[in-house]
Amino acid sequence: MTIEVNGKSIETTDSGFLVNPLDWNEDVAQALAEIEGIELSERHWDVINYLRDEYLNNNQNQPMERALLKDIGKKWGSKPSSKEVYQLFPLAPTKQGTKIAGLPEVQRKGGY
């Protein structure tokens, strides 16, 4: 599959993740979010930037939900509930958020 962003064709996997994470930028994130039916807010960007930072600067870490909630809570001033973060990313913040963040698909199964 491919998506068009600013006149450039960006290749994605069958599940919509970028084939080349280096193709990512904020415009690509906006396009991926639109495909997912999500309008990005400041809180969405907080999660996206957190996921990118963890992956790019922490040995390709793809945090589980519990770690995401704890770390995002530090930024937001209080730990959000799972429900709050699922309102941002209804198909799982660590999976749908990872897709919009331009990172590889999470391969782990279930669990926290």
DSSP per position, 12-79: B-TTS-BSSGGG--HHHHHHHHHHHT----HHHHHHHHHHHHHHHHTTT----HHHHHHHHHHHHSSP
Q: CA–CA separation, 73 vs 79, rounded Å? A: 4
**pLDDT of 109:** 64
Q: Is the pTM of this model over 0.85?
A: yes
Could you tell me if 63 and 71 are in contact, meaning their C-beta atoms sit under 8 angstroms apart? Answer: yes
Task: Report the run of H or E that residue 82 belongs to, with start and end.
Answer: helix 82-88
**pLDDT of 110:** 57
Output the tens digit of pLDDT for each of the chain's 112 residues.
Answer: 899 999 999 999 999 999 999 999 999 999 999 999 999 999 999 999 999 999 999 999 999 999 999 999 999 999 999 999 999 999 999 999 999 999 999 877 655 4
**pLDDT of 112:** 47
